[in-house]
Amino acid sequence: MADLDAQVRESQAQVSEAQAKIAELTSKIETARSKIKGGEDAMLDIENASLEDVHAHTEVMNANIAELIMGLDDITAAFSKDFDEMRNKTGWESFVGMFSRAKSDSMRQERVREASIDDKLQDLISKSDVIVQLLQGQLTMLEEQKTKVEANLTETLDEREFTVGDLENLRTEIKGMDPKIIELENKIANETDAAARTKLETELADLNTQYNAMVQDEQVKLAKSQTLERYIEKGKTWVDSLQNQAATQMVLINKLQTDTKQRVVLYDALTKSLKTAQQQDVAHRINEIGVETDQEAQTAMAGIGAATNKKMADMLEAHEDHMVFARDVLEAKAKADERFARRFQEIIEKHDKNLYGA
């Protein structure tokens, strides 16, 4: 599992880098918001807050984690094969059995014991837990960033609504000045008295000054409205991106958690199968010896048999509950696998080709 350990470390580094990039992008959006509030030009900050770099990195990161998860599946499949091999005696154990059945059985029992089945399962589960914690940390960070950006967006949406309302009122006032200006211009054109004409021209000059100031203010408010609109567009895109990234993390977490439950069920079933194989060997030996036993031994065996039947009945009842649980786990795993496949189809195909190529 050395390669898997290296992959885990690589994924940890990638997640740290992704979190730094995500935090930086959110920070740029917040900086732009502060500049807009201060009336500064923030378009450069917004344009620099590009999603492409973050998306490219998170895609690589998630692809590597998906590969990791499939690597755990490969190891599980290999362990299942190891179990099947454990059930049967090796060539050497079978050869020894030709001379000593007891020695052959003890050799197999020793081999099974040294296989550290439980240790392998625990190692697999611990690796799954490390990846889940990694993904959970990323998910928490994404949700925190999303909350932060959404708060900024809410404030900006309110400000833009106010700015647009202000702009509309200003435009209405500007339109209302047009008839006044036209009226004054007509009066000046028809006025013959020099003093009266001068007074009207002064009024017109003041009105034009006021009009020009309002038109200039309209341009400022329009520019601010457009800046806020572009900021909101960037913010919404970033929120959507964070939401999508969070959804991907949830799919990966769900897949890993259901896989872990399925592995526990699988290993439990395989371990029971292994023990059953050993018990069957013992039963055959008892049967061979049984014909040579006396009545007293047969009576003792009958007592043991009754106790065994009672134990078997209890085990069957427990097994029924276990099978219901196992069925639930397998159904949950099928759903998790389907969601995983939808998001990582290309990675799965690449992984399978590499696997078969190997």
Lowest mean pLDDT across 92-96, 184-188, 280-284, 348-352: 280-284
Lowest mean pLDDT across 76-90, 143-157, 166-180, 327-341: 76-90
Output the pLDDT for position 326: 60
Handedness of CA 30, 35, 38, 41 (dihedral sign): negative
Sequence-separated (6 or more) residues with CB below 8 Å from residue 226: none
Token code pair at residue 68: 């990791």
Output the pLDDT for position 289: 46
HSE (side-chain half, CA atoms, 13 Å) at 195: 0
d(CA 240, CA 97): 67
Query: Regarding predicted confidence, which is higher, 111 or 310?
Result: 111
* Number of domains the chain is built from: 1
Go through 269-293 and write b for each residue having 16 or more CB atoms within 10 A of its CB, e for each that does not: bbeeebeeeeeebeeeeeeeeeeee
For 108, the domain range is 2-357
d(CA 312, CA 304): 12
Output the pLDDT for position 296: 41
The mean per-residue pLDDT over the stretch 107-134 comes to 75
| DSSP string computed for 256-283 | HHHHHHHHHHHHHHHHHHHHHHHHHHHH
Token code pair at residue 3: 């390669």
Query: Regarding predicted confidence, which is higher, 311 or 184?
Result: 184
User: Where do the H-state alpha helices sit in 191-294?
Assistant: 194-290
Residue 125 pLDDT class (50, 70, 90 cuts):
confident
Output the pLDDT for position 319: 44
Output the pLDDT for position 45: 61
Kindly report, residue by residue over 274-299, the tens digit of the pLDDT: 666 555 555 555 444 444 444 444 44
Indicate the burial class of 337 (C-beta count within 10 angstroms; 0-12, 13-18, 19 or more).
middle
Using the predicted structure, report yes or no on whether residue 219 has a pLDDT greater than 80: yes
Output the pLDDT for position 83: 67
Q: Which residue has the tokens 């392998």?
A: 120
Output the pLDDT for position 86: 67
**253, 129 Cβ separation under 8 angstroms:** no
The mean per-residue pLDDT over the stretch 10-38 comes to 83
The mean per-residue pLDDT over the stretch 122-145 comes to 86
Q: Would you say the pTM of this structure is higher than 0.85?
A: no
**70, 351 Cβ separation under 8 angstroms:** yes
* Greatest mean pLDDT range, 82-91, 176-185, 304-313: 176-185
The mean per-residue pLDDT over the stretch 203-228 comes to 89
Using the predicted structure, report yes or no on whether residue 189 has a pLDDT greater than 80: yes
Residue 170 pLDDT class (50, 70, 90 cuts):
very high
Residue 138 pLDDT class (50, 70, 90 cuts):
confident
